[in-house]
Amino acid sequence: MKVDVLLGLQWGDEGKGKVVDVLTPHYDVVARFQGGPNAGHTLEFEGQKYVLRSIPSGIFQGDKINIIGNGVVLDPALFMEEAKALEASGHPLKERLRISKKAHLILPTHRMLDRAYETAKGKEKVGTTGKGIGPTYTDKVSRNGLRVGDILSNFEEKYAKAKARHEAILQSLDFEYDITDMEKTWFEGIEYIKQFHLVDSEHEINNLLKQGKAVLCEGAQGTMLDVDFGSYPFVTSSNTVCAGACTGLGVSPHAIGEVFGIIKAYCTRVGAGPFPTELFDDTGRKIRDRGHEYGAVTGRERRCGWIDLVALKYAIMINGVTKLIMMKSDVLDNFETVKACVAYKLKSGEIIDYFPFDVNEVVEPVYKELPGWNADLTKMTNESQFPKAFKDYIAFLEKELETPIKIVSVGPDREQTIERDNVV
């Protein structure tokens, strides 16, 4: 019985999809536990690139079971688009995928509400992905949501009621919209979903565990976007932290084994909100260019900066991270020096080394500067080939974060992955 959890420790897009794909051979089951199509998880192998949004990243490996858990919010139209594209590219998924009947449905009007609320916020907008995530989780918590299991009986009636409620809110916000086409595709999606295994995934997953199967939980977004612990209110609407795997799948905390924390060798953020180490200069632009830091789904420019060890220590604490996995090390390949934030200077002048309640109080990161490695890591296959300066960077991070870095990723391809030790 074993449930390992893999999650992002920064503001999302750390490279979770790639690592899930790399680790899948060690597991029988891969399960998503929160988030929805706000996620964009990229996988590259055999010269092909795939971006997954709602479907777990274990889907490409034949004999694995993939589960969309109760904590996920599902848009049937976007799910259908994603699933059909995978099938068309030769990856059948109907037999491999199970969807929880308790997962909540994103309605077309949820997407409209997302936009309307953002518009109403004006300058203070969150910069959401516009996928209806916030309004769908709001309906879940306020006990008004529709779930996947609801599509099996009297669905039109339930839908009409929810839609009418949303329309009244949209009217009160003076928000103009037309969902005629969207609604048509959405209902096609509802019919399409019925062809899949719609299950009580909490039973399913616990039965699999009893049979001795190994489960990998795939987080979406990142710890600093968690609704409780992230940079609120500039966060997503779910618990992206390790505890979310328990509530989002129905597994006991006792079942959790390893917690893999995924980090970039630097840091990025997309959307609004505080980002203490953000770089607005040529260095920031160089990281963006070298790292192709543009949203996997929205194409939005990602904000770039140096690695933030204050925020990372916080994330490691909240999640109980046992092993770190560092991505995109190659992006820093040709810098004279690299920096890591080890403390924050506040408006008051005080220097702190913990993540504060109001991140907007941080005026300046305190950096430790280290020598760059000026070497191409992308073709390296073993850590013995790493230049000394890069080894020193890894050792510095491990010491500061008090957690071992078990995998180093040196490029987007599945093959560009260096395991420093037995990871699983």
Residues of 307-317 as b/e, b for ≥16 C-beta within 10 angstroms? Answer: bbbbbbbbbbe
With residues binned 3-state (H G I as helix, E B as strand, rest as coil), the percentages for the chain, rounded to 5, are 35, 25, 40
Residues 310 and 362: beta-carbon distance below 8 Å: no
Helix (H, G, I), strand (E, B) or coil at 61: coil
- Burial of 194 from C-beta contacts in 10 A (0-12 / 13-18 / 19+): exposed
Q: How far is the CB of 229 from Mg ion (least distance, A)?
A: 19
Q: Out of 13, 21, 28, 139, pick the active-site residue.
A: 13
Helix (H) or strand (E) holding 303: strand 303-305
271: partner contacted, choices ligand GDP, Mg ion, ligand IMO, none (Cβ within 5-8 A by kind): ligand IMO
331: partner contacted, choices Mg ion, ligand IMO, ligand GDP, none (Cβ within 5-8 A by kind): ligand GDP
Of residues 30 through 59, those in contact with ligand GDP by CB under 6 A are 40-42, 44
**Cα gap 329→378, rounded to integer Å:** 9
**220 near ligand IMO, rule: CB under 6 A:** yes
Residue 408 in tokens: 């180093």
44: partner contacted, choices ligand IMO, Mg ion, ligand GDP, none (Cβ within 5-8 A by kind): ligand GDP
Q: How far is the CB of 189 from ligand IMO (least distance, A)?
A: 19
Which one of residues 4, 13, 114, 226 is an interface residue with ligand GDP (CB under 6 A)? Answer: 13
Please provide residue 86's backbone torsions phi and psi, each rounded to the nearest 5 degrees: -65, -45
Catalytic annotation present for 41? yes
Which one of residues 54, 57, 100, 129 is an interface residue with ligand IMO (CB under 6 A)? Answer: 129
DSSP structure class, residue 35? B
**268 near ligand GDP, rule: CB under 6 A:** no
Catalytic annotation present for 166? no
40 or 412: CB nearest Mg ion: 40
Q: Out of 4, 21, 28, 41, pick the active-site residue.
A: 41
Sequence-separated (6 or more) residues with CB below 8 Å from residue 172: none
Q: How far is the CB of 420 from ligand GDP (least distance, A)?
A: 14
Of residues 264 through 323, those in contact with ligand IMO by CB under 6 A are 270-271
57 or 403: CB nearest ligand GDP: 57
Helix (H, G, I), strand (E, B) or coil at 31: strand
Tell me which residues are annotated as active site: 13, 41
